[in-house]
Structure 1
Amino acid sequence: MTRLVSFPASGTSRAALHASLDQLDRVILGKSTQVRLALTCLLARGHLLIEDQPGVGKTTLAQALARTCGLHFRRVQFTSDLLPADLLGVSIWDAGAATFRFQPGPVFSEVLLADEINRATPRTQGALLEAMEERQVSEGGVTRPLPDPFFVIATQNPAAFVGTSPLPEAQLDRFLLTVTLGYPDPRAERNLLETGGRSQTVRELPAVLSAPVLLGLQREVDAVHAAPPLLDYLQLLARATREHPAFEAGLSPRALLALLAAARAWAYLAGRDMVLPEDVQAVFPSLAAHRLPLRDPSQSVGDLLTRVLADTPIP
């Protein structure tokens, strides 16, 4: 029998969380699943990769999520000439104080939108890698912590686009989830045409959450229970990917921990204090797709993951 979540001290916070979800659904029309995956990623302390062509709402989703959560937002356009210092910051000589003064870069924000990340050089991508993994920046022999919460939303153009290069596997693994927005349905697209888009709406969004409230929600997500049979199910899924002939390599132990964290956050959004197999199944494709290199690129990784879920027994 499913138990409903019961965190009596945080009823107001949970109500605010669902109010933020409703607000995002009113801005990002027809993309309820993608919106929930983005919020799941934030609650699980992960980072989000959005793969799609320009103009389908990737930046709008990032801005709306930051505003409704009451978080400081910065956007960086990744280009081939972007340097690590442009992202991380640089030490500037202060003649009056006769010392170097650190000027923080845009990475020192609570929500960072790394737009078209696959247009940057490997050196700049590597600089972002430390920030994403360690949540700190090293410059001039000094390590500086990043804000908490710290959430990177990166957008990536399709590989066929001019000027793009694939992200290395090590960086892809640092993204908890990957989503694709795709074209809006006809009804949502007509609404955009009649209202002139969502730019003004996003700028006027009120903050429903705040950084301290979000940190409290993240701690409650950590407390969502995962029973031993559920852990067995995770291991069966990992083994299925490792033994599948279509994949060059299966899910790593780190990816398995990430899957558990994402499933906990998805269950929490659904109002439960325990993880069910359906929570794992909901986040599995978005977590595994970018982590499983294909032997034959012409195959559909989505179809393969659907088959893995169908063939893996639930303990």
Structure 2
Amino acid sequence: TQNPIEMEGTYPLPEAQRDRFTARVSMGYPSTAAELDMLDTHGGPAALDDLDAVADASEVRKLIDVVRAVHVSDEVKRYVVDLVSATRTAPELRLGASPRSSLQLLRAARAAAGLEGRDYVLPDDVQALAVPVLAHRLLPTAEAQVARRTTEAVVQALVERLPLPRPTKR
């Protein structure tokens, strides 16, 4: 987790550390009902005793194997590389995404496909995950910051601009 930068005593992560987080997802605040539930269920003397395992080690291993078995076509791989490469030449960015970003975007797309019950990645999987996987790794130019152009907006614009790969049979 990362606290908002606006909080006192928090500082931006160095570039090398940001690149090691797979994705950044803002959870927002819980609903009133969820927050009330938190007050009832968390922090009590036996809070940890009430936790139930949702998966054991063998189930986690099976899920990892399912994700690894998800097929990625050469066209989708090329799309991932093209999208990540586009961040390196985007005029609003002074630092684009690293090759590690391509690996993480592809892993996330595989996981999404597996969770959807598919054994193949769609370009839509890549598009849906591009912002959470890429935006936190990028650094905007001073001009982009002044214009309040976020890295999320830059990635979304790249997703909308790049042509999708045409499906091929495997």
Which protein is bigger by CA-based radius of gyration?
A: 1
Asked if 1:301 corresponds to 2:144, the answer is no
Q: Deviations over 1:9-60 (max 9, x none)?
A: xxxxxxxxxxxxxxxxxxxxxxxxxxxxxxxxxxxxxxxxxxxxxxxxxxxx
Aligned-partner Cα distance in 2 for 1:166–1:191: 29
Aligned-partner Cα distance in 2 for 1:249–1:215: 36
Which is helix-richer, 1 or 2? 2
Match of 2:35 in 1: 192
SS in 2 for 1:288: helix
**Equivalence map 1:287-298=2 (5 Å):** 287-296=133-142, 297=145, 298=148
Aligned-partner Cα distance in 1 for 2:111–2:8: 36
Aligned-partner Cα distance in 1 for 2:161–2:40: 43
Aligned-partner Cα distance in 1 for 2:35–2:16: 38
SS in 1 for 2:21: coil
Match of 1:252 in 2: 98
**Contact 1:192 1:198 (8 Å CA) reproduced:** no
**Contact 1:285 1:305 (8 Å CA) reproduced:** yes
Amino acid corresponding to residue 25 of structure 2 in structure 1: V
| 1:269–1:198 distance in 2 versus 1, CA, 3 Å | farther
Match of 1:144 in 2: none
**Equivalence map 1:55-66=2 (5 Å):** none
Aligned-partner Cα distance in 1 for 2:15–2:38: 41
**Equivalence map 1:256-295=2 (5 Å):** 256-295=102-141
- How far the C-alpha of 1:229 sits from its partner, in A, is 1.1
When the two chains are superposed, the root-mean-square deviation of aligned CA atoms in Å is 2.1
Match of 1:37 in 2: none
Amino acid corresponding to residue 190 of structure 1 in structure 2: A
Identity among equivalent positions (%) equals 41
- How far the C-alpha of 1:190 sits from its partner, in A, is 3.1
Moved over 4 A (4+): none
**Equivalence map 1:100-249=2 (5 Å):** 155-184=1-30, 188-193=31-36, 196-199=39-42, 203=48, 204-249=50-95
TM-score by length of 2: 0.83
| 1:195–1:291 distance in 2 versus 1, CA, 3 Å | closer
- How far the C-alpha of 1:314 sits from its partner, in A, is 0.3
TM-score by length of 1: 0.47
In the comparison of the two structures, how many residue pairs are matched?
A: 158
Amino acid corresponding to residue 192 of structure 1 in structure 2: E
Which is strand-richer, 1 or 2? 1
Aligned-partner Cα distance in 1 for 2:92–2:107: 26
- How far the C-alpha of 1:198 sits from its partner, in A, is 4.4
Match of 1:129 in 2: none
- How far the C-alpha of 1:206 sits from its partner, in A, is 2.0
- How far the C-alpha of 1:197 sits from its partner, in A, is 4.8
* Ranges in structure 2 where 5+ consecutive residues have no aligned partner: 166-170
Aligned-partner Cα distance in 1 for 2:118–2:17: 32
